[in-house]
Amino acid sequence: MSRDSREHGPSDEPSPPPLSDQPRSTPADVSRRLTAADVMVTIPKTLGYESDVGAVRRELYDDHVHMVLVVDDQQRLLTTITSSDLPSAVPNSMRAIEVGRLDGRTTRPSTPITDITARLGRSGERRLAVTDDHGRLLGLLCLKRSRTGYCSDDGVAARARESRATTSAS
């Protein structure tokens, strides 16, 4: 007879296994199950296909923006542009879709986040666009500067509110 049944009376229910015998989810287990779709920012800033390089440079002026996403009317990703794609010789009047690239800068929503984190670690980059099988933009993965996690929709919205408050106060 267990100590519990002596103190509380017999029970027909089996006792749960001791805590030490129960499976535990470690942070590594949890991150192994997470995918790009689970951690991507779902409200990334985008520019339309008619945008010029000047508009891209204005976006990149914000120190939180590391990659500009250029999409068409159906939200298909046409190009991604980082500051390294824009040497000073590129005129502001050039169409944005003429610079940047997709190769190496996109992933699928089902890609495990552990694979993505390793990929970003190898490349030194911190951003990947998430697209579906038809090239439609679904979101953006934003590895934090500390490399300890990913930006969230809530965090992006909070920074936008802070930015608006700072701008309106000045």
* β partners of residue 71: 48, 77
Does 15 fall in a domain?
no
Does 5 fall in a domain?
no
Q: Strand pairing of 137-142 and 127-131?
A: antiparallel
Structural domain for 61, as ranges: 35-169
Does 164 fall in a domain?
yes
Residues sharing a CB contact under 8 Å with residue 87, sequence separation 6 or more, in sequence order: none
Does 28 fall in a domain?
no
Does 9 fall in a domain?
no
From first to last of its 170 residues, the chain has per-residue pLDDT tens of 444 444 444 445 444 444 444 444 444 545 568 999 999 999 899 999 999 999 999 999 988 899 999 999 999 999 999 999 999 999 999 999 999 999 999 999 999 999 999 999 999 999 999 999 999 999 999 999 898 899 988 887 787 787 777 766 76
In this prediction, residue 28 carries a pLDDT of 53
For residue 131, give the nearest of 121, 118, 140 by alpha carbon: 140
Does 52 fall in a domain?
yes
Does 64 fall in a domain?
yes
In this prediction, residue 106 carries a pLDDT of 98
Structural domain total, the chain: 1
Does 4 fall in a domain?
no
For residue 56, the domain's CATH number is 3.10.580.10
* Integer Cα distance of 111 and 116 in angstroms: 7
In this prediction, residue 113 carries a pLDDT of 95
